[in-house]
Amino acid sequence: MAGSIDPLREQFDAFKALPRDQPIHMLNLIRLNKLAQYPEGHPNHGKGMSGLDAYREYGRTSAEVFSRVGGHQVWVGKPETVVTGPADERWDLAFIAAYPNAGAFLAMVTDPGYREHVKHRQAAVEDSRLIRMAPREAGEGFGE
């Protein structure tokens, strides 16, 4: 079964239907390919790059547009084990990226330069989850 790498059209439409003028956080869970899967014709095809190296290239090359739209990381952690959930599920990277609003995220993913940089992410990722969240102040108890 193929992993989730890019959003399906209906998922992206649901994202765009939500308010665009409010701050958002994007939870990212990433499982990497052992070897990057660049398509034929890409300069990195057949170079034997690891998925991690390709993901790092994605981060390095997309950093300018991420910053330009006002994005920044607010949390990053190293997944260690699944405590609740499918026993065979594993994630290599986990982080939360913040954007001043959903419009900024849309500006990033439609930026012509970013559309080239995202090819590194597509080569790097075996499976992923990208979950839009509305940030709020934490309360005293779990889920508050």
Half-sphere exposure of 80 (CA within 13 A, CB side): 2
Please tell me the predicted confidence (pLDDT) of residue 68: 97
Please tell me the predicted confidence (pLDDT) of residue 2: 63
Tokens of 104: 């900024």
What is the mean predicted confidence (pLDDT) over 20-38?
Answer: 96
For residue 60, report the phi and psi dihedrals to the nearest 5 degrees.
-65, -45
Domain edges within the chain: 9-133
Question: Class for domain 9-133, per CATH?
Answer: alpha beta
Cα Dmax for the chain? 53
pTM for the structure as a whole: 0.91
Query: Rounded to 5 degrees, what angle do the CA atoms 21, 62, 120 make?
Result: 120
Helix H or strand E encompassing 55:
helix 51-68
